[in-house]
């Protein structure tokens, strides 16, 4: 999966445009990706991603970084031995495209707005 374009509220992955938040798996895209509390990320919100046992999880926190990742969520990801990078979504997209070249199982959870 390659991200071809990202702008506020829109992302193009392998030629398909999405206008709702996404989880990008190595062979599929889940959209819309909903969270219990829209702008606060819990481990439960990442269930599909963590069950896939990624070697790297990239989280896009929104165009302006509006999605909060509580320390408790980061701690639980660490306990599951999941390497995690989080950044504003524009930067997360760049990191994802770089990392998929070198890492086998990268999963990205991307908030497209805020």
pLDDT digits (tens, 9 = 90+) for 4-57: 999 999 999 999 999 999 999 999 999 999 999 989 999 999 999 999 999 999
Give me the pLDDT at residue 101, please: 81
Q: What angle do CA 9, 10, 11 make, to 5 degrees?
A: 140
The answer to whether the beta carbons of residues 32 and 20 sit under 8 Å apart is: yes
- Please provide the average confidence, as pLDDT, over all residues in the chain: 96
What is the set of domains in the chain, with CATH numbers? 3-110 (3.40.1230.10)
Residues 97-110: what's their mean pLDDT?
90
Q: What pTM value is reported for the model?
A: 0.96
- Rounded Cα distance, 71 and 76, in Å: 9
């Amino acid at each position: 999966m390659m991200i071809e374009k990202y702008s506020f509220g829109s992302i193009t992955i392998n030629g398909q445009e999405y206008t709702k938040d996404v989880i990008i798996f190595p062979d599929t895209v889940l959209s819309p990706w909903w969270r219990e509390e829209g702008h606060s990320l819990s481990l439960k919100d990442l269930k599909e991603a963590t069950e896939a046992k990624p070697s790297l999880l990239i989280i896009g926190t929104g165009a302006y970084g509006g999605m909060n990742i509580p320390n408790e969520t980061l701690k639980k990801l660490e306990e599951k031995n999941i390497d995690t990078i989080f950044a504003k979504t524009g930067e997360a997209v760049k990191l994802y495209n770089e990392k998929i070249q070198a890492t086998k199982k990268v999963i990205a959870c991307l908030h497209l707005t805020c």
